[in-house]
Amino acid sequence: MILHKFKNQADLDRAAADLIISAVRAKPNAVLGMATGGTPVGLYQEIVKSYQQGLVSFKEAKTFNLDEYVGLPITHPESYRAFMQRNLFDHIDIRAENTHVPNGNAADIDGEGRRYDEMLYQQGPVDLQLLGIGHNGHIGFNEPDSHLSRFTHKVTLKAETREANKRFFNSLDEVPTHAITMGMGSILHAKAILLVVKGMEKAEILDRTLNGPITTEIPASLLQTHPRVIVMTDCDVEYKVSHS
């Protein structure tokens, strides 16, 4: 892992956006893994600025989102499809058919997971996967558990995850109880991973991700097994590299 620390979120957003933009400029048909939530909003804004300045084109790029709520209409403002359209896709030149988000309203969610994995297999691997991290160490919606699924699957959201996402809804009752998410195997198959972590309230879980034991009880800790992870954060943490 490579750890980059920033004094403020504005500098972090710019650096993260520049990394994604550089990947696309180096490989115009790059496959990008995208994330949602509060963490990537600022860096998506920086990407849009660079596109508007003519510094990058996404015409040949493809994107695969990590996850989507189950049972939430895509027209709902808090669906992850709506989030991506609002924060990024509607403001750049990416082709609609090249943007992929799991279908949380599929009649057969298990079948949808298989379909999504097949697309990933055919069009991937992902060149650069953007990730955030949950307060409990979840990646995508891979929640802490005694075991983790390798492939795209339906998951029951932990109470703490629903509570954290309540700020995007009118009440906790409106927060979906289930989601469909890429599995950890699919995520770790990416050629490179960019983990963005914001806010000192996530310093402890980031420290456990970087330096703690690898355990399914902290899904993010599995990133230690990947050969190319770049961490960008404004948290005051250190990466204690072992030389044993």
CA dihedral 131, 37, 30, 225 (to 10 degrees): 10
pLDDT in tens, 219-235: 999 999 999 999 999 99
Token reading at 204:
């402890």
Residue 98, both tokens: 């090249």
What is the CB neighbour count within 10 angstroms for residue 122?
A: 7
3-class secondary-structure state, position 75: coil
Q: Is residue 244 scored above 80 in pLDDT?
A: no
With residues binned 3-state (H G I as helix, E B as strand, rest as coil), the percentages for the chain, rounded to 5, are: 40, 20, 45
Question: Could you give the CA distance from residue 167 to residue 195 in angstroms, rounded to a whole number?
Answer: 22
> By C-alpha distance, which of 19, 89, 83, 101 is closest to 58?
89
In sequence order, what are the residues at sequence separation of 6 or more whose Cβ sits closer than 8 angstroms to the Cβ of residue 242?
none
Residue (of 201, 190, 200) closest to 225 by Cα position: 190
Give the active site residue among 138, 142, 165, 189. 138
- For the segment 9-49, what is each residue's pLDDT rounded down to a tens digit? 999 999 999 999 999 999 999 999 999 999 999 999 999 99
Distant-in-sequence, close-in-space partners of 85: CB < 8 Å, separation ≥ 6: none
CA distance 70 to 78: 12
Looking up tokens 């860096």 gives 43
Whether 143 is catalytic: yes
Q: Say what percent of the chain tops pLDDT 70.
A: 99
> What backbone phi and psi angles, to 5 degrees, belong to 117?
-65, -35
User: Beta partners for 181?
Assistant: 67, 153
- Asked if 178 is an active-site residue, the reply is no
62, 31 in Cβ contact below 8 A?
A: yes
Identified catalytic residue from 143, 153, 165, 189: 143
Yes or no: say if 173 and 182 are a contact pair by the CB < 8 Å rule. no
Rounded-to-integer distance, Cα 178 and Cα 130, Å: 22
Confidence of residue 242 (pLDDT cuts 50, 70, 90): low
Which one is catalytic: 13, 46, 65, 67? 67
Task: Check 78, 100, 105, 136 and give the catalytic one.
Answer: 136
Concerning whether 226 is annotated as a catalytic residue, the answer is: no
Type of residue at 51: Y
Q: Which two tokens stand for residue 30?
A: 């790059």
**Is the whole-model pTM more than 0.85?**
yes
Domains of the chain (ranges; CATH) run 2-231 (3.40.50.1360)
**N residues, the chain:** 244
pLDDT for the residue 241? 72
Active site residue 170: no
CB 146 within 8 A of CB 230: no
Give residue 243's pLDDT band: very low, low, confident or very high (50, 70, 90).
very low
Q: Which residue has the higher pLDDT, 242 or 157?
A: 157
Per-residue pLDDT band at 84 (split at 50, 70, 90): very high
CA 35/CA 129 separation, integer angstroms: 8
